[in-house]
Amino acid sequence: MDVEARYLSEPGPVGLFTRLTRVGLLVDAFQHRCLDTFGLLFIDYSVLRLLQLSGSPYRMSPTELSEILVRSSGGMTQILDRLERAELVARAADPSDRRKVIIALTPVGLRTAERANERYASEREQLLSALSPEAVDGVDQAIHRLLEVLDDGSPALGAVAAPPLR
């Protein structure tokens, strides 16, 4: 057995985290392949997708976005600044409290979100076609459980800074 095979087949928590890290790196490469054409990082896509999923008028507060995406307020500000410069989102006064800000998809942002989502969904379906629906469901259930364990409110696993700007 070569070193790579031994590295990836270590048993227990060490091997689990090694394989999770490798999956993360491969998923990151997959996301770049899907979203680079749109000039989006995955975190950018995630913001656009959340705003899209919120439904018309496609608005959320920066706090809501940062909590769902596990980003610090400063990290979220950097992401929103980048998306605003690209004219994909706009900041506006919250109609219910003008002291607060809301983030809204622009028409260009909505079209970009729709196109990026179509591409991402298509590529994802193609990639996962190698697995049976039961296998996908099993992996998904295991990941949900792992997320529950990791997202237990532990301060060490709290909000993280945004990735470096391009």
The stretch 36-58 carries a mean pLDDT of 95
Task: Name all domains of the chain by residue range, CATH numbers in brackets.
Answer: 39-127 (1.10.10.10)
Question: Nearest CA to 82 among 47, 36, 120?
Answer: 47
The stretch 85-114 carries a mean pLDDT of 94
C-alpha 70/C-alpha 34 separation (Å) is 22
Q: Could you report the per-residue pLDDT of 123-149, keeping only the tens digit for each?
A: 999 999 999 999 999 999 999 998 888
Is residue 75 within 8 A of residue 160, CB to CB? The reply is: yes
At 106 the pLDDT is 97
Question: How long, in residues, is the chain?
Answer: 166
The pTM of this model reads 0.79
C-alpha 74/C-alpha 55 separation (Å) is 26
- Which helix (H) or strand (E) element contains residue 103? strand 97-105
- The per-residue pLDDT of the chain, averaged, comes to 89
